[in-house]
């Protein structure tokens, strides 16, 4: 990993509005030097507006934005020492790869020798040196994505921002480019603000993930922290953890649709609980149910091939249906009766949903 050359981004009390519509409300967020911070959320939650405010493309209604100790208030976009990569890439179609990448350094007034060096460094970073003289229209979608990234990093910004960088690329290519993105971030060493609606993308590239909802920050943490301890049902659902149910908890015992579960550290009261991905498994003679696990009997109603495993949907009497991965061995057939083992240690109690602000 390269030594960090990035700045610390600090967003304090940021509010941005479009007329009567508040797009970002009183946001507090920071990215440390060299950190990759992903901002994750559905369309309209305010994540792209945050990026545009940091870039100087949207004026804040309130709050401050700093890079290290430098306030960005009143600075034009070209004065902020940030690089920005849009979803649509916005490349110049009739110019070469090298000319596209040279745009930023030229706008900053560098001499020709410096521009050539910065372009060469940026193309080497994204493994496109051999395509420097190629026309943009001759490139594949993945190559154009890397040219756009090279153009954003060529001026060597202290903060690199990406707005849905893989959104215009087909799903198969997205998977191949995720590793490329993280490798570039590690080699670059700058601070990165990565905006996306795709939870797999955010969890794959980021050191920390900020989940936004309705103009506010909902939860902030490492990918593992979010995956192992989602704070609310919204976060759990957005991460793809869809086994959420009501529970009544008394003295460490939770009454749920899937039975009585021992949750010794859980607070008393009416709550919602979520089953983490490793909470469920199909039992068999080689892996019988442990004493700490709860047995659930059900019938297979659907199967879905998912590459390295099969996702099996099981109807459990008087409870929401469950989906469990089967990784190896015999895959249950439709209408098979089977036993599931539910591990209470992989069950989390969720906080109440925050009150919405008009």
| pLDDT < 70 regions, the chain | 1-4, 89, 167-174, 355-358
Q: State whether 208 and 254 are in the same domain.
A: no
302 belongs to a structural domain: yes
Q: At what angle do helices 112-125 and 97-107 cross, to 10 degrees?
A: 130
Q: State whether 133 and 258 are in the same domain.
A: no
Q: Which of 212, 237, 262 is the last residue of a domain?
A: 237
Q: State how many domains the chain has.
A: 2
122 neighbors 154 (Cβ within 8 angstroms):
yes
Q: State whether 146 and 263 are in the same domain.
A: no
H-helix or E-strand spanning residue 118: helix 112-125
Distance CA 39, CA 237 (A): 16
Q: State whether 101 and 115 are in the same domain.
A: yes
282 neighbors 332 (Cβ within 8 angstroms):
yes
1 belongs to a structural domain: no
The enclosing domain of 268 has a CATH number of 2.40.50.140
Q: State whether 217 and 91 are in the same domain.
A: yes
**What pLDDT, on a 0 to 100 scale, did the predictor assign at position 357?**
47
Distance CA 115, CA 168 (A): 29
Q: Which domain holds residue 86?
A: 9-237
36 neighbors 6 (Cβ within 8 angstroms):
no
Q: State whether 231 and 259 are in the same domain.
A: no
Q: Which of 192, 208, 237 is the last residue of a domain?
A: 237
First to last CA, the chain: 44
Q: State whether 90 and 42 are in the same domain.
A: yes
Q: State whether 183 and 266 are in the same domain.
A: no
4 belongs to a structural domain: no
CB atoms within 10 A of CB 65: 22
**What pLDDT, on a 0 to 100 scale, did the predictor assign at position 173?**
64
**What pLDDT, on a 0 to 100 scale, did the predictor assign at position 146?**
87
Q: Which of 203, 237, 271 is the last residue of a domain?
A: 237
CA 82: distance to chain centroid?
21
CB atoms within 10 A of CB 93: 9
Phi-psi region of 74 (alpha: psi -120 to 50; beta: other; left: phi over 0): left
Closest CA to 13 of 59, 58, 65, 70: 65
pLDDT in tens, 136-162: 999 988 888 889 989 999 999 999 999
pLDDT in tens, 313-339: 999 998 999 999 988 777 889 999 999
Q: State whether 26 and 148 are in the same domain.
A: yes
Q: State whether 176 and 248 are in the same domain.
A: no
Judging by beta carbons within 10 Å of its beta carbon (0-12, 13-18, 19+), is residue 76 exposed, middle or buried? exposed
The enclosing domain of 16 has a CATH number of 3.40.50.300
170 belongs to a structural domain: yes
313 belongs to a structural domain: yes
Distance CA 342, CA 320 (A): 14
3 belongs to a structural domain: no
Q: State whether 55 and 101 are in the same domain.
A: yes
Contacts by residues 316-321 (CB-CB < 8 Å, ≥ 24 positions apart): 316/258, 316/340, 318/257, 319/245, 319/257, 319/258, 320/243, 320/245, 320/257
177 belongs to a structural domain: yes
Judging by beta carbons within 10 Å of its beta carbon (0-12, 13-18, 19+), is residue 323 exposed, middle or buried? middle
189 belongs to a structural domain: yes
Q: State whether 281 and 230 are in the same domain.
A: no
Q: At 134, list the tokens.
A: 């190629």
């Amino acid at each position: 990993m390269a030594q960090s050359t990035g700045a610390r981004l600090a967003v304090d009390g940021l509010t941005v509005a479009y007329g009567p519509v508040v797009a970002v409300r009183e946001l507090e967020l920071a990215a440390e030097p060299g950190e990759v911070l992903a901002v994750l959320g559905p369309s309209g939650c305010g994540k792209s507006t945050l990026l545009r405010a940091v870039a100087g493309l949207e004026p804040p209604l309130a709050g401050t934005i700093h890079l290290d100790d430098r306030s960005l208030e009143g600075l034009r976009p070209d004065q902020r020492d940030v690089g920005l990569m849009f979803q649509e890439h916005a490349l110049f179609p009739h110019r070469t790869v090298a000319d596209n990448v040279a745009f930023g350094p030229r706008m900053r007034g560098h001499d020709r020798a410096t521009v050539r060096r910065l372009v060469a460094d940026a193309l080497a970073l994204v493994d496109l040196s051999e395509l420097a003289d190629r026309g943009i229209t001759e490139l594949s979608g993945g190559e154009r994505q890397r040219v756009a990234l090279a153009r954003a990093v060529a001026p060597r910004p202290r903060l690199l921002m990406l707005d849905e960088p893989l959104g215009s690329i087909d799903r198969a290519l997205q998977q191949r480019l995720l590793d490329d993105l993280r490798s570039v971030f590690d080699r670059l060493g700058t601070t990165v603000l990565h905006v996306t609606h795709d939870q797999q993308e955010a969890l794959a590239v980021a050191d920390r993930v900020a989940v936004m909802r309705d103009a506010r920050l909902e939860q902030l943490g490492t990918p593992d922290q979010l995956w192992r301890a989602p704070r609310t049902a919204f976060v759990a659902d957005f991460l793809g953890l869809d086994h959420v149910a009501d529970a009544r908890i008394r003295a460490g015992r939770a009454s749920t649709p899937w039975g009585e579960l021992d949750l010794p550290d859980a607070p008393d009261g009416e709550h919602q609980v979520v089953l983490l991905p490793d909470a469920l498994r199909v039992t068999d003679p080689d892996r019988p149910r442990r004493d700490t696990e709860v047995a659930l009997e059900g019938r297979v109603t659907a199967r879905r091939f998912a590459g390295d495993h099969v996702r099996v949907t099981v109807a459990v009497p008087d409870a929401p249906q469950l989906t469990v991965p089967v990784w190896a061995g015999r895959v249950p057939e439709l209408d098979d009766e089977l036993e599931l083992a539910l591990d209470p240690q992989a069950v989390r109690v969720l906080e109440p949903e925050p009150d919405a602000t008009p």
